[in-house]
């Protein structure tokens, strides 16, 4: 195993009122073979796995929908004195194995269906890495770029006041997500402790180090993904220096992953962000690309001796390993047949559609799925939760060693299912995760 620099305390790159009666809304969409929404895509995979596990109708019914969907309109006072309300919600998918766990996103297009899908995937993800937590997700339909710091704090505190009775270290533990930061997590913890008149540092994760955070949280997603990819490469008898890697997405996870790979001897031939990318056959130094992005606002601001490419072109480059680390559904039935990589490591959530999965499987492409590959983030969030409950502060070395052990044990369990059942790694990960959820539900007497 290659040695990479240990975690830092820098959280700066983490990806990212009034109380009214909460509304509990049961959602009952019917799974469809041609489903296109994020939640229906999740259900398509879930139904296939339930068939493999031979679950009863009662078990299927309890798994197909979230346990709770909490909705709320939150209101703040803008800097100009006007009132503005925003739709807010918290989807709690399953807590059979432990408290609900999942991020809160602030985005104008955040909707219930997307959040449902992410909550469900989080429940599977925590089960795949075998940490004692369930799955949830939250969101506020707002554009944080249009809010002042004072207004952003008001939205953050209003969200917690709206859902306070459904949160807590033993109930539901949020975390950062799209457009939310450690500072927002700090405001939320402070508001929760004020409203509930309690001390509960483990009620939320992704906090600043000065307010109950954990070492390693900023690089955890990339670190966990690196452990899995490097183990896959080692077990296949391959040499990193002979493997070409393309990374789509140069945000926190993608840029950190590219740096880890470069340090370990892999040849990073292409990177991109939302404005485009570069390809250099002999290899790119991610540190130089980071400098370019900081100066120009984009990796495409300088070619570093390579040529400019689009995000779409990056996906179809001749390479050995493709790492989508940005948006969902970027590999679909329209381009899957042109993918040349033999291994796809999903750091983004849902970058490969079910239709593309089928095409890639026929081509013999190995897809290491998001519910395993990007689970390093939630794993270190679990570490932060554990430290908050115990009052301990782990060293960077402790976080690193425990994350590595959990990720490799999880990969071994998934690979075992894939081999024994002759199924894809995605289906194998779902078999492991859903199987553990069902086992907990049975033991608890829910069926």
**Cα separation of 64 and 69, whole Å?**
13
Note whether 101 and 382 are within 8 A (CB).
yes
Note whether 167 and 160 are within 8 A (CB).
yes
Q: What is the DSSP letter of 5?
A: P
**Cα separation of 315 and 352, whole Å?**
11
| Chain mean position to CA 216 | 16
DSSP assignment of 386-444 equals: HHHHHT----HHHHHHHHHHHHHHHHHHHHHHHHHHT--HHHHHHHHHHHHHHHHHHHT
**Cα separation of 293 and 312, whole Å?**
20
Is 145 tagged catalytic? no
Q: What is the DSSP letter of 329?
A: T
Residue 89: CB partners within 8 Å, gap ≥ 6?
69, 70, 71, 72, 112, 115, 138, 139
Residue 327, exposed/middle/buried by CB under 10 A (0-12, 13-18, 19+)? middle
> What is the SS3 assignment for 120?
helix
Q: Out of 137, 207, 280, 293, which one is annotated catalytic?
A: 137
Question: What are the tokens at 440?
Answer: 């907990």
Q: Hey, which residues does 204 pair with through a beta bridge?
A: none
Q: Which residues are catalytic?
A: 137
């Amino acid at each position: 195993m290659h040695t990479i620099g240990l975690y830092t305390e820098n959280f700066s790159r983490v990806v990212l009122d009034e109380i009214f009666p909460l509304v509990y809304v049961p959602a009952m969409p019917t799974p469809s073979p041609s489903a296109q929404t994020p939640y229906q895509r999740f259900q398509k995979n879930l139904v296939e796995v339930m068939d493999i596990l031979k679950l009863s109708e009662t078990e299927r019914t309890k798994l197909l929908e979230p346990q709770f969907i909490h909705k709320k309109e939150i209101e703040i006072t803008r800097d100009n004195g006007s009132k503005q309300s925003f739709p807010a919600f918290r989807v709690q998918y399953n807590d059979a194995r432990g408290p609900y766990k999942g991020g809160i996103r602030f985005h104008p297009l955040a909707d219930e269906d997307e959040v449902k899908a992410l909550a469900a995937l989080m429940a599977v993800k925590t089960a795949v890495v075998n940490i004692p937590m369930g799955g949830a997700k939250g969101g506020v339909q707002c554009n944080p770029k249009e809010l002042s710091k004072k207004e952003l704090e008001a939205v953050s505190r209003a969200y917690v006041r709206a859902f306070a009775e459904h949160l807590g270290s033993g109930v539901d533990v949020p975390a950062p997500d799209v457009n939310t930061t450690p500072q927002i997590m700090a405001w939320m913890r402070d508001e929760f402790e004020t409203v509930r008149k309690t001390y509960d540092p483990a009620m939320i994760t992704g906090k600043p180090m000065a307010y109950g955070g954990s070492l390693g949280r900023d690089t955890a997603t990339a670190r966990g993904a690196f452990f899995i990819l490097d183990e896959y490469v080692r077990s296949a008898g391959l040499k990193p220096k002979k493997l070409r890697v393309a990374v789509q997405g140069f945000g926190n996870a993608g840029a950190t992953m590219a740096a880890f790979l470069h340090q370990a001897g892999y040849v990073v031939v292409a990177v991109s962000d939302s404005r485009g990318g570069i390809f250099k056959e002999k290899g790119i130094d991610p540190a130089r690309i980071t400098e370019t992005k900081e100066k120009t606002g984009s990796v495409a601001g300088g070619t570093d001796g390579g040529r400019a490419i689009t995000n779409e072109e990056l996906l179809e480059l001749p390479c050995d390993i493709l790492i989508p680390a940005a948006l969902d559904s970027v590999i679909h039935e329209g381009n899957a047949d042109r993918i040349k990589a033999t291994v796809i490591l999903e750091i983004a959530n849902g970058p490969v559609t079910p239709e593309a999965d089928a095409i890639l499987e026929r081509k013999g492409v190995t897809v290491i799925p998001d519910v395993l590959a990007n689970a390093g983030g939630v794993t270190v969030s679990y570490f932060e939760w554990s430290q908050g409950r115990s009052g301990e502060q782990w060293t960077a070395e402790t976080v690193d060693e425990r994350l590595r052990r959990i990720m490799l044990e999880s990969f071994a369990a998934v690979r075992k299912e894939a081999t024994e059942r002759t199924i894809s790694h995605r289906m194998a990960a779902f078999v492991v995760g859903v199987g553990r959820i069902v086992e907990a539900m049975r033991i608890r007497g829910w069926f």
